[in-house]
């Protein structure tokens, strides 16, 4: 199955941060299948959106709003961050 990649969207970019060694070990597969780079380093960039899709303990202590542009949003899929930090959740 062919997955959409960031290069298939002219106005989007995807950054994937994973603090766990197991996921980083699979970074070649993620790059090949999805066209997304996986990194253990927390970005210094600012983004339009942060989507927290997993409940890693390491994410609970992050100031996720510091990664956002002024009008950016935080979407918490797993519901692990305090409601006052996020804009929406499942």
CB 67 within 8 Å of CB 43: yes
Residue 28, CB-side half-sphere exposure with 13 Å CA sphere: 1
pTM as predicted: 0.70
**Residue that is written with structure tokens 């062919």 in the block:** 2
**The pLDDT value given to residue 52:** 87
**Res 86: pLDDT:** 92
In the chain, what are the helix, strand and coil shares in percent, each to the nearest 5?
Answer: 25, 25, 50
3-state secondary structure (DSSP) of residue 74: strand
- Whether 51 has a pLDDT exceeding 50, the answer reads yes
- Over the stretch 8-46, which tens digit does the pLDDT of each residue have? 455 566 767 776 665 655 778 878 888 877 777 777 778
CB–CB of 79/89 below 8 Å?
yes
Quick one: DSSP state of residue 7?
G
């Amino acid at each position: 199955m062919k997955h959409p990649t960031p290069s298939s969207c002219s106005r989007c970019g995807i950054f994937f941060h994973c603090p766990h060694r197991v996921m980083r070990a699979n970074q070649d597969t993620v790059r090949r299948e999805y066209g997304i780079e996986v990194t253990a380093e927390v970005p210094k960039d600012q983004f339009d959106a942060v989507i927290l899709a997993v409940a890693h303990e390491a994410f609970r202590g992050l100031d996720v709003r510091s990664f956002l542009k002024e009008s950016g949003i935080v979407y918490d899929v797993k519901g692990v961050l305090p409601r006052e930090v996020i804009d929406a959740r499942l």
